Structure 1
Amino acid sequence: MGELKKILKPKLEAELNRNDDIESLIINENYISDTIIENINLDYINEEKVEINGCKFVNVIFNECSLRNVDLLDVVFENCDLSNVDFSDGSIHRVEFKDCKLIGTNFSGGNLQNILFQESLGRYSNFGYSKMKDINFKECNMQGAIFLECNFNSVAFKECNLASSEFTNTLLKKVDFRDSDISEIALTGRELKDAIVSPIQAVELARLLGVIIK
């Protein structure tokens, strides 16, 4: 079945700083580095071009936040709620999302590389028009997610729910879907060239594309 890609992990310092005024750093400095942020709510932050480097977020709720053009480098999110956060047009490298809520999170137009999404809820998340290289989705619910006109390069889905997701105009060469749910996905058909699916999935895809099987 689908194998995860070899990707680079975030590089974090052994001892991370603590700061009780993270909102001030984001709003006034537009920069955070080498810091652990735990058990807080970040509310109504609307900033562009924030740089977050070498940080770890644990049990953090992002409430109605917009961080467009964000620069995330070497960052870990664990058990965080990032639902509906706007990360559009961001640069996101060596980042892990573990056991996170990413419902409706907007990654569109971004440059994503060496990223792990693990056991996360990403329903209706938007990756449209993104460049995605060395990305692993492991045991994630991505139902209804948007991968419209993405540039995939070494992207893997392992035991994911991709039902009703959209892959229109995203080439899926060598993407292995065999242990994921791809029922009712949206595409034109040409995207599937050299994709890897099971016989049962092939029948379902044929029906989606209007092929009559007798």
Structure 2
Amino acid sequence: MGGSGGTGSSGGASGSSGTAVKGARRPELRLPALEPFGGGELEPDGDYDGLEFREADLAGQDGGGARFMDCALTGCALDETRLQHARVLDSVLTGLRGVGTNLADATLRDVEVVDARLGGLQLHGAVLERVVVRGGKIDYLNLRAARLKDVVFESCVLVEPDFGGARLERVEFVDCVLKQVDLTAAVLKDVDLRAAAELGIGRGVDRLAGAVISPGQLIDLAPVLAAEMGIRVEG
């Protein structure tokens, strides 16, 4: 069984309050020997323990409320797959692809998501704890009203991610490209954006309290901040 959250990176720099930024705790996964998934379709409220889903076509299937424990999903197709209220625990998800995957109100705990290619991923109302999203590209990620704690986005591209009304605590963005982020009504605590490769805020720049950015990012965000505050900048 995967370990439930080892020690992660420690925040070494100081934020505006003069206190160190708390780093996210990363999952420590040790998958057991896995049995191959026997095929067939996912079942609502199904229980999947210690299984390997390799190159499985799960498009259009309904696994709402299912539990995935100590599983590996590799190269699976998830177009319009319904996984509302699913629980994904101590698992590694590699090379997932699909459009319209529905993980609304799901729980992801001690999970690694590697090289995903997803569009319109629905995670609104979800709970993510000790999760690493590494590599890949996710377009129109919906995390509205979600709760993220100890989450790391690393070397990935997020196009128009929506964090509206979400709560983010100890979340890090490392070598990520963030395009037109929506932070409307979001609450941030110990969110480290300094290592983001690109940081574009579409809406909710006023919600950056609780985040740490670099001096260069502050300069890049100056026009957005000025517009938010109603400041006219003229030559």
2:34 maps to 16
Q: 1:83 aligns with which of 89, 99, 105?
A: 99
| Higher relative strand content | 2
Shift of 1:83: 3.2
Q: 1:170 aligns with which of 183, 186, 194?
A: 186
What is the correspondence of 1:176-191 to structure 2 with a 5 Å cutoff?
176-180=192-196, 181-189=198-206, 191=207
Shift of 1:199: 2.8
1:6 maps to 25
Q: After superposition, give the CA deviation of every residue in 1:31-81 in whole Å (9 maximum; x if it has no partner).
A: 111011112211211242111111001111112211110111111111121
Shift of 1:28: 6.8
Residue 73 of structure 1 contacts residue 95 of structure 1 at CA under 8 Å; is this kept in 2?
A: yes
3-state SS in 2 of match to 1:206: helix
Residue 7 of structure 1 contacts residue 114 of structure 1 at CA under 8 Å; is this kept in 2?
A: yes
Shift of 1:163: 1.5
1:106 maps to 122
What is the correspondence of 1:134-145 to structure 2 with a 5 Å cutoff?
134-145=150-161
* Closer/same/farther in 2, CA of residues 174 and 133 from structure 1, 3 Å limit: closer
Shift of 1:188: 4.7
Q: What TM-score results when the alignment is normalised by the length of structure 2? A: 0.81
Shift of 1:194: 4.2
Q: 2:145 aligns with which of 129, 139, 150?
A: 129
For 1:21, give the aligned amino acid.
Answer: G
Asked whether 1:118 is paired with 2:134, we answer yes
Q: 1:158 aligns with which of 171, 174, 180?
A: 174
**Inter-partner Cα distance in structure 2 for 1:29 and 1:195:** 37
Residue 182 of structure 1 contacts residue 201 of structure 1 at CA under 8 Å; is this kept in 2?
A: yes
What is the correspondence of 1:34-113 to structure 2 with a 5 Å cutoff?
34-113=50-129
Q: What TM-score results when the alignment is normalised by the length of structure 1? A: 0.88
Structure 2, unaligned stretches of length 5 or more?
1-9, 12-22
Residue 76 of structure 1 contacts residue 95 of structure 1 at CA under 8 Å; is this kept in 2?
A: yes
Structure 1, unaligned stretches of length 5 or more?
none
Shift of 1:12: 1.7
1:193 maps to 209
Residue 41 of structure 1 contacts residue 62 of structure 1 at CA under 8 Å; is this kept in 2?
A: yes
Shift of 1:213: 4.8
Residue 165 of structure 1 contacts residue 184 of structure 1 at CA under 8 Å; is this kept in 2?
A: yes
Residue 122 of structure 2 contacts residue 143 of structure 2 at CA under 8 Å; is this kept in 1?
A: yes
**Inter-partner Cα distance in structure 2 for 1:51 and 1:82:** 20
Q: After superposition, give the CA deviation of every residue in 1:83-118 in whole Å (9 maximum; x if it has no partner).
A: 321000011111111011122111110111010100
Q: Pairwise CA RMSD of aligned residues?
A: 2.1
Residue 169 of structure 2 contacts residue 190 of structure 2 at CA under 8 Å; is this kept in 1?
A: no
For 1:77, give the aligned amino acid.
Answer: L
Point out 4+ residue stretches in structure 1 off by more than 4 angstroms: none
3-state SS in 2 of match to 1:182: strand
